[in-house]
Amino acid sequence: MRVTRSIFAAMASLWAAGAAVAQEQSVLPGQPYDWQMGLQEPMSPIEYQIQWFSNYTLAFIIPITILVAALLAWVIFRYRAGRNPVPSRTSHNTTIEVVWTLAPVIVLLFLAVPSFQLLTAQYNPPSEPELTVKTTGYQWYWGYEYQPTEASAEAAAEPVSFESYPLLDDDREAMGKADRNAYPHLLAVDNEMVVPVDTVIRLISTSADVIHSFALPSMGVKVDAVPGRLNEYWFEALREGMFYGQCSELCGQSHYNMPIAVRVVSKEQFAEWYAAASESLEDANALLTARIQSGDSVAVAGR
């Protein structure tokens, strides 16, 4: 009993310490933080559904775990050798067998229906995608290629493409990314993937060498990047900001340092960035960062 109390006391202290650390931090929406206990804040419709299904599943898992643990404890206590010197010779019980067959079937049906609904939603966007971005995994960085759409065709006739490398500490000051809260260690990159808010985006994932995985937790995105194969997914960012992910498939010695950074901006800001990026990515990123930091409004290119 004392050991059990000590374990629960230690867990409570750990939880309290984590909560205190989280409160002291300036946590940005949709970003991870130290001592985080739950999932990241959802920033897309799919991630909302994923977290709902997670909580829904826990509503079954927790009672079942408690029931099984209680039954085991009761059997250990009630049918131990000290209380039953002569073991029971019962071979079967029809009622119990019917119950433990039907109960799991019913539980699985309650889990299967919303599971299939979520799976269907993940691969069927609510509308035709307005933007297509091809992501290519390399050892150990990402490449992005924007396919021209009706919204961007006037801004640039050719697709915009670039590589995104992990941000080195020596380059932070020069790139205006010294704030480690906004640009965390091992998550910040030199060139973010820029996308517009409230826009259905088609994501095409592949790899140029080994298997990678494009994962963006706050957007509910996790797509394998397989050499010679194109995997398709979609997401829609519900608010502006910077959101991070990482390669989630072991791909070599620098797998830990293969971050994903997505900057979500207004549609007007994206149109201006896209037009500038077709000529100079560095100038486009510098202008976008400056406008965001200053809070100035951005006019649509060409107006």
Identify the pLDDT of residue 118: 95
- Tell me which CATH homologous superfamily contains domain 131-294: Cupredoxins -  blue copper proteins (2.60.40.420)
Residue carrying structure tokens 């924007």: 146
**Residues 269/288, Cβ–Cβ less than 8 Å:** yes
Identify the pLDDT of residue 79: 85
Query: Which DSSP string corresponds to 274-290?
Result: HHHHTT-HHHHHHHHHH
**Where exactly are the structural domains of the chain?**
42-84+93-124, 131-294
Query: Which DSSP string corresponds to 64-107?
Result: HHHHHHHHHHHHHHHTSTTT-SS-------HHHHHHHHHHHHHH
Identify the pLDDT of residue 303: 30
How many CB atoms lie under 10 A from the CB of residue 124?
8
* Spatial distance between the Cα atoms of 212 and 93, rounded to a whole number of angstroms: 51
Identify the pLDDT of residue 59: 94
Per the structure block, which two tokens stand in for 291?
A: 């406008």
250-269 per-residue burial string, b: 16 or more CB within 10 A, e: under 16: ebeeebeebbbbbbbbbeeb
**Residues 205/233, Cβ–Cβ less than 8 Å:** yes
* Spatial distance between the Cα atoms of 189 and 230, rounded to a whole number of angstroms: 24
**Residues 205/230, Cβ–Cβ less than 8 Å:** yes
Q: Give per-10-residue mean pLDDT for the chain (303 aa).
A: 54 54 55 80 93 95 95 90 81 88 95 95 92 95 84 58 93 86 89 94 95 95 95 94 93 93 93 89 87 58 31
3-state SS of 163-201 is EECECCHHHHHHHCCCCCCCCCCCCCECCCEEEECCCCE
* Spatial distance between the Cα atoms of 213 and 135, rounded to a whole number of angstroms: 10
Identify the pLDDT of residue 149: 61
* Spatial distance between the Cα atoms of 74 and 170, rounded to a whole number of angstroms: 62
* Spatial distance between the Cα atoms of 49 and 45, rounded to a whole number of angstroms: 7
Identify the pLDDT of residue 153: 47
Identify the pLDDT of residue 298: 38
Per the structure block, which two tokens stand in for 38?
A: 């739950």
Question: Nearest CA to 141 among 294, 254, 7, 59?
Answer: 254
Range 42-84+93-124 has CATH code 1.20.210.10: no
**Residues 147/203, Cβ–Cβ less than 8 Å:** no
pTM score, whole prediction: 0.79
Question: Nearest CA to 240 among 258, 218, 220, 260?
Answer: 218
Treating both helix axes as pointing N-terminal to C-terminal, what angle do 45-78 and 94-122 enclose, rounded to 10 degrees? 160
CA 40 to chain centre: 7
